[in-house]
Amino acid sequence: MKALPIMTRIPLKSFIKVLFILFLLQPSSVTADSEAVYPAITDRDDWAGTYFKGKKLGFSHVRVRVQPDAILVNSKTYMRLELMGQSQVTSFTQQTELTPDLKLRKFLLLQEISGNRQKVEARLEQNKLIIKTSSVGYDKEKTISFSPDWFLSTTYLLNIYKAGLKVGNHGKFPLFVEPFQMTTELKYRVLRKEKTAFKGDMVNAFVIDQKLSGLQSTLWVAEDGTVIREVSNQGFESRSESEEVAQSMPDGALSVGSFITLSRVKLEGNIKRPRSAKDLTLKVSHLNRPDSIPNDHRQKVLKSEFLKDKEYASTIRIRTEPRQVKKAAPFPVRGFESPEFLADSSEIQSEHILIRTLARELVKDKKSSWDAARAINDWVFNNLEKALVDNFTALDALRSRRGECQSHTNLFTAIARAAGIPTRIVNGLVYSRDFEGFVYHAWPEVYVGEWRALDPTFGQTTVDATHIKLAAGNESTQFKLMEFIGKLAIKVVSQ
């Protein structure tokens, strides 16, 4: 097989979503009793610079306004990378309205990347959150249950401050993550109080540890509620800065290639002919749990062992599938039990007329679901330019005809679902000779009588054995990647 450039990386919009969650809120001044500190909610305007392994990526900004009957929080995360001399800008901006006792009323979230835009409007009515998502080719509303005990990812520090800052205080609560439209659990603990440098002085600061679905970060919070600094286990850092300093970007932004290099997973050993590798045994270290890596039809965890400091290592064997399906399901697939893998969504617009028309054309003469899936895979591979450019949606990728691995995967998934083939999105790692290690990647799996993995970015109808699955499902699986980034090490055991 001809060697192909690796047009893959961590999906930038997912990184920005996590930064949006981790590095925004820096509220207000303080009143205190002898036991604990309770930062009060008052008007304020705070800025912070955002860094990745010491390199500046962008900034975050939060403005809090207190009104007689509401608390308004406006927040923004901005990141800029450079590709072939041109800047790629991604931003997430949110307007949130809370009640005086910090309950959600509504929010408006705007997500922009490389000129593409998505809007999410939500309002709470009697413990039901009504969410309307709008983008090119998609404009739909859905309703989900929303408990009064849930907090928002962009305002939850207000709730922690309301409970009081005191060494030893801890808690956990459900957190609604607005960009992913999902709920997960956040745990926090006030570890200690220490002197910390801030604006040329040494100030008292609470050190708070927080964990969110495998993500871990440490905050230094002044007694007036200002987040002085926050560091995540993925190598991200937020530093409180003036507006001018926060918005200033160095000449020549961090390049996309550098970003991949900084986030790659180095390999101990060597993989021969990675794009044709059929059977690999690897040891993956620095995992959060013994079951962090999933088992599936290609990938088996042979053993997991405890290392130290609450970390684990798993030895996994990965094999590619045979080229033929044992018993291909009729086409289209009937009676599939998981309708979400045939569903239309804001990123996978399988019901859009352009997607459906293309799907009919590509599969019109196919007799089996496996033949149809391979035809779609070939078309996406041959018709999308390999470019390190993010797209929000499948339709964006179809219209621009260029993109990285997530763009290829989203478009394949939309076409396959439109054709009646159950498809799920996989996020994980793949070996890259270009970057001399494993880099983050996305690819689809289809149900055609059995689950099969393909890779429209590489043009593979059976993925090679360097594809390590870390999460699978729908778009929100990108969130799970954050527990791995910046931590893993991989060793070749056998091949």
The answer as to whether 255 is a domain residue is no
CA 174 to CA 360: how far, in whole Å? 42
**Judgement on whether residues 194 and 107 belong to the same structural domain of the protein:** yes
**Judgement on whether residues 75 and 223 belong to the same structural domain of the protein:** yes
Task: Please give the angle made by the CA atoms of 76, 79 and 81, to the nearest 5 degrees.
Answer: 170
**Residue 267: enclosing H or E segment and its boundaries?**
strand 265-268
> What's the burial of 78, exposed, middle or buried (CB within 10 Å: 0-12/13-18/19+)?
buried
- What pTM was computed for the model? 0.86
Q: Which residue has the higher pLDDT, 359 or 181?
A: 359
**Judgement on whether residues 206 and 292 belong to the same structural domain of the protein:** no
Domain boundary among 247, 282, 307: 247
pLDDT value at position 481?
A: 78
CA 57 to CA 38: how far, in whole Å? 32
Encode pLDDT of 136-180 as tens digits.
878 899 999 999 889 998 888 888 888 888 999 999 989 898 888
pLDDT value at position 15?
A: 55
Supply 49's token pair: 């610079």
pLDDT value at position 83?
A: 62
pLDDT value at position 13?
A: 57
The answer as to whether 252 is a domain residue is no
Residue 18 confidence (pLDDT) above 90: no
Upstream peptide bond of 250 is cis (omega within 30 degrees of 0):
no
Give the count of domains, the chain. Answer: 2
In which band, very low, low, confident or very high, does the pLDDT at 207 lie, cut at 50, 70 and 90? very high
The answer as to whether 2 is a domain residue is no
**Judgement on whether residues 324 and 189 belong to the same structural domain of the protein:** no
> What's the burial of 119, exposed, middle or buried (CB within 10 Å: 0-12/13-18/19+)?
middle
**Judgement on whether residues 76 and 174 belong to the same structural domain of the protein:** yes
CA 391 to CA 369: how far, in whole Å? 27
The single-letter DSSP state of residue 288 is: S
* CB-CB contact of 211 with 175 (8 Å): no
> What's the burial of 338, exposed, middle or buried (CB within 10 Å: 0-12/13-18/19+)?
exposed
> Quick one: what percent of the chain has pLDDT higher than 90?
51
Residue 460 confidence (pLDDT) above 60: yes
pLDDT value at position 86?
A: 65
pLDDT value at position 137?
A: 79
CA 228 to CA 23: how far, in whole Å? 11
Encode pLDDT of 316-328 as tens digits.
999 998 888 888 8
Helix or strand or coil: residue 282?
Answer: strand
pLDDT value at position 261?
A: 67
Distances (CA, A) of 436 to 276, 321, 334, 401: 16, 25, 43, 28
**Judgement on whether residues 196 and 326 belong to the same structural domain of the protein:** no
Residue 30 confidence (pLDDT) above 70: no
Q: Which residue has the higher pLDDT, 389 or 342?
A: 342
Domain boundary among 178, 212, 247: 247
Residue 257 confidence (pLDDT) above 70: no
pLDDT value at position 194?
A: 94
**Judgement on whether residues 390 and 288 belong to the same structural domain of the protein:** yes
Sequence-distant (≥ 6) Cβ neighbours of residue 213 within 8 angstroms: 184, 185, 479, 480, 482, 483
Range 339-364 average pLDDT: 93
> Quick one: what percent of the chain has pLDDT higher than 70?
89
CA 49 to CA 51: how far, in whole Å? 7
Q: Which of 197, 210, 203, 254 is nearest to 224 (CA)?
A: 203
Q: Which of 68, 145, 63, 148 is nearest to 105 (CA)?
A: 148
Greatest alpha-carbon pair distance for the chain in Å reads 77
**Judgement on whether residues 350 and 488 belong to the same structural domain of the protein:** yes
The answer as to whether 257 is a domain residue is no
**Judgement on whether residues 363 and 447 belong to the same structural domain of the protein:** yes
Encode pLDDT of 414-446 as tens digits.
999 999 999 999 999 999 888 888 988 999 999
Highest mean pLDDT among 154-158, 222-226, 295-299: 295-299
**Which residue range forms the structural domain that includes residue 205?**
12-247
**Judgement on whether residues 167 and 273 belong to the same structural domain of the protein:** no
**Judgement on whether residues 112 and 232 belong to the same structural domain of the protein:** yes
Task: Please give the angle made by the CA atoms of 246, 250 and 256, to the nearest 5 degrees.
Answer: 105
Least confident of 116-125, 160-169, 244-253: 244-253
Q: Which of 51, 44, 98 is nearest to 77 (CA)?
A: 51
Torsion of the alpha carbons at 184, 185, 191 and 193, rounded to the nearest 10: 60
pLDDT value at position 5?
A: 45
pLDDT value at position 32?
A: 41
Question: For the chain, what is the mean pLDDT?
Answer: 86
* CB-CB contact of 157 with 25 (8 Å): yes
CA 263 to CA 221: how far, in whole Å? 28
In which band, very low, low, confident or very high, does the pLDDT at 123 lie, cut at 50, 70 and 90? very high
The single-letter DSSP state of residue 283 is: E
**Judgement on whether residues 331 and 183 belong to the same structural domain of the protein:** no
Task: Please give the angle made by the CA atoms of 136, 353 and 460, to the nearest 5 degrees.
Answer: 90
Domain boundary among 216, 247, 278: 247
Residue 404 confidence (pLDDT) above 60: yes
CA 490 to CA 238: how far, in whole Å? 28
